Amino acid sequence: MSRSILLRIPLELREEIIKYVLYSPRPSPDGPSYPHNRVRLFDVGFDSLLSLLSHRLGHEKPVEWTIPAGQALLLVNRQIAAETRAILTRYPLTYQLDIMMVQERYLWPTWLSVPVLSNRIEELKVTFRTFGSALSPRQHQHMFSSSPTGMFDYRLYTNDPPRLVLCFLSVIERIFLRGVPFPSPARLSNTSQGWDANTIDSLLIVEDEILPGEDSEALMECIRARRALTQMIPDKEVIIGTLVLDIQSPTAWQGQRTPEPEVGFAEWKSYSYHFSYQALSPLASADFSEGSLITDIPVARPEWLASMISSEITALLSMNYQSIFCNDIIFERIGRIQVKVDGMVFTELNLDEMLANLQFTGGWFPRDAEVDSVDKRRWQFFGWKERTKRFRMKRDLPVVDAGDSLELSESRLL
């Protein structure tokens, strides 16, 4: 449709066309059929949760989806651009993201709808779908267990949430810090010292997880280079009004199914459950490789995942995990979290109320702080809580006054 024809039609009809272009999502991927179209991103700092789990996240290669739907409309002419901006101001800005859990090990996020780039997302709708079972009982147990499961489990000394929850939070954390777009090697090469765009691209956007040998000088140089580069990328300070996580029932994709009704979540996520099925699985015994997909071992029910994720995020925001360093950024940048199962609300977390009700415990430690006295940490806790409340107010996120000012004043006198 040419510009002249578009301008001749009635305004009401033209607005409907503009809204259709802005808000119509792409179809979700049918399944994890194109692993070579996925890359790993290393564009977030090494003090981040994401830096621990970048190898678990397979992002879609930056082709068309990085162009927001509204960009072309804003460049057509002044009238169409003005009408597009008017529509964007009238409707809450909503992004849609699809996440596939592949092999019970990897998460593949795919952006379905990005009307326009913004550091304020009123609603982020995330659909979560399961494809295939783990390749081994140990990987199956690692993904869903909330405690260390062996000498090769990185949580051996930290007691962090299950890896599934950490991977999901890693996806959200990157949105906070970087927004939707991929890193821009060409832009970084103008400010970095000694690196051209191709070198930066190879460091930050990795197609295959091929790293130099552990403890080698080449590996340490790679880590130092990535750390230096990520420090040059500014924090986008993205705010999400409502995060909606909709966990969907597994489809009959390639014959996958959920467990029998009498099987509970605790039994299903155990090492022995997966081991007993793997012994009878021709798919597991035929191709034990990263590229294989096992679909004849039952996968998790959506209500199990909803319960686990909502419970673990609640525990995280209640400061039950000392070693996690993303609970503060969640309080600062999300208004509320809603978890659904097949479109039906399962649980809702109002972060303003959770922050207001948060109380100091002797085990709380501020980020990057040494072990100090309980009294000093109590004062630091109420100071952090007050700063977080002001941060939310500044960004128009809901806030509940908990009357902590007196507690803060008393703590300073100790």
DSSP 368-404: T-----HHHHHHHHHHHHHHHHHHHHHTT-------H
Cβ neighbours around 74 below 10 Å, total: 15
Helices (H), 91-210: 137-144, 163-178, 185-189, 197-204
Query: So what's the pLDDT on residue 288?
Result: 43
Query: So what's the pLDDT on residue 152?
Result: 40
Enter the pTM of the model: 0.87
CA atoms of 104 and 144, how far apart (whole Å): 9
Query: So what's the pLDDT on residue 114?
Result: 93
- The three-state secondary structure class of 412 is helix
How many separate helices (H) and strands (E) can be counted in the chain?
Answer: 18, 9
Is residue 45 within 8 A of residue 230, CB to CB? The reply is: yes
Look at the chain and report how many structural domains it folds into: 2
348 shares its domain with 383: no
57 shares its domain with 139: yes
Buried b (16+ CB within 10 A) or exposed e, 241-280: bbbbbbbbebeebeebebbeeeeebeebbbbebbeebbee
Could you tell me the strand order of the sheet in which 344-350 lies? Answer: 106-113, 94-102, 120-131, 239-247, 334-341, 344-350
Cβ neighbours around 67 below 10 Å, total: 13
377 shares its domain with 253: no
Residue 278 lies in a domain: yes
CA atoms of 180 and 195, how far apart (whole Å): 24
CA atoms of 324 and 346, how far apart (whole Å): 25
Angle at 265 between CA 104 and CA 156, to 5 degrees: 60
127 shares its domain with 242: yes
Query: So what's the pLDDT on residue 113?
Result: 93
Residue 198 lies in a domain: no
Residue 127: strand pairing partners: 98, 246
Residue 269 lies in a domain: yes
53 shares its domain with 153: yes
Residue type, 145: S
Distance of CA 158 to the CA centre of its chain: 21
Residue 219 lies in a domain: no
Residue 234 in tokens: 């500014």
Residue 202 lies in a domain: no
Is residue 259 within 8 A of residue 229, CB to CB? The reply is: no
144 shares its domain with 284: yes
Residue 332 lies in a domain: yes
Query: So what's the pLDDT on residue 355?
Result: 94
Residue type, 1: M
Residues 6+ apart with CB under 8 A from 126: 96, 97, 98, 99, 243, 244, 245, 246
Query: So what's the pLDDT on residue 151?
Result: 38
252 shares its domain with 322: yes
CA atoms of 253 and 250, how far apart (whole Å): 8
Residue 353 lies in a domain: yes
Q: Which domain holds residue 142?
A: 34-63+92-183+233-358
Is residue 42 within 8 A of residue 204, CB to CB? The reply is: yes
297 shares its domain with 311: yes
Of the candidates 201, 249, 248, 244, the residue with the CA atom closest to the CA atom of residue 226: 201
265 shares its domain with 414: no
Helices (H), 269-326: 271-278, 282-286, 302-317
Start-to-end C-alpha separation, the chain: 71
384 shares its domain with 313: no
CA atoms of 239 and 334, how far apart (whole Å): 6
Phi (first) and psi of residue 412, to 5 degrees:
-70, -20
243 shares its domain with 381: no
Segments in the chain below pLDDT 70: 1-4, 46-52, 62-66, 146-159, 189-194, 208-216, 279-295, 322-325, 362-372, 403-414
CA atoms of 378 and 363, how far apart (whole Å): 10
Residue 344 lies in a domain: yes
285 shares its domain with 150: yes
Query: So what's the pLDDT on residue 391?
Result: 94
